[in-house]
Amino acid sequence: MAPADAFDAMALDDLEEAAGELHRRISAALRRIGEAQAEQPDGEQRTPRWRVASLAAALELACASLAAVAAGGGTPDVRHDRHPALVSALMYAAPSIPALLTRVDQDRRLLASFSRSLDSRLGEPHVTPWGHISLRRLLSEVAIAEPARCAQALERRLAILEAEAEARARAEAAHQG
C-alpha cells in the first residue's frame, strides 16, 4: 500500500475526477496495446490484460468492503484480488478489451457510489483486506494508487511496443533503401 499522503485528504469530487483520469489513461493505453499484445507478458510476467483484470478485482473487493460497512456487517479480511484464479475468471468474464474496460469503469462508478453513501463515515477505521485502515485510506488506495500503478505499467509497456515497432520500421526502410 502506498504511504498516507495528500490523496487521503482529497474531497470526494476531486478523488473521483482523479480516478476517472487514471481510468482514461488505462483505457487509452490498453486500446493502443491491442488485443494481441494484451496477452504478452512484460518483464514481471504480467500481461496488460492481467493488470487491468487485477485492478477490476481490487475495485470489486473494495466495493464489497464498503457495502459490508454500509450494511453493518463484517468486511472481507483477505486480499484475494490478485489470486490467479480470480484474475483469470475476470479475464474470461470480460474476454475483449472493450468488455474489460467497461467492467472496470462500472466498478469505478460503483466504488464512487458507495463512497458517497458513506461520506460521513470515511474516517472510520475498519479491518479490510488492505489491513486495519480508514475507509478513506482504502478508497485512496483503490481509486488512485492502484490505478496509477496499472496506468504506469501499461504506458511503459506501450512505450516498449512503440519503440520496437519504430525499430522494425527503420530496419525495413534501411533494407528496402
Cα–Cα distance between 74 and 85 in angstroms, integer?
24
Interval 52-78: pLDDT, tens: 999 999 999 999 999 999 999 888 888
Does 4 have pLDDT greater than 80? no
3-state SS, residue 123: coil
Name the grid cell of 66.
464498503
pLDDT (tens digit, 9 = 90+) per residue, 109-151? 999 999 999 999 999 999 999 999 999 999 999 999 999 999 9
- The residues spanned by each domain of the chain are 6-176
Strand partners, 128: 131
- The whole-angstrom separation of Cα 78 and Cα 86 is 13
CATH superfamily label, 6-176: dinb family like domain (1.20.120.450)
**pLDDT value of position 77:** 82
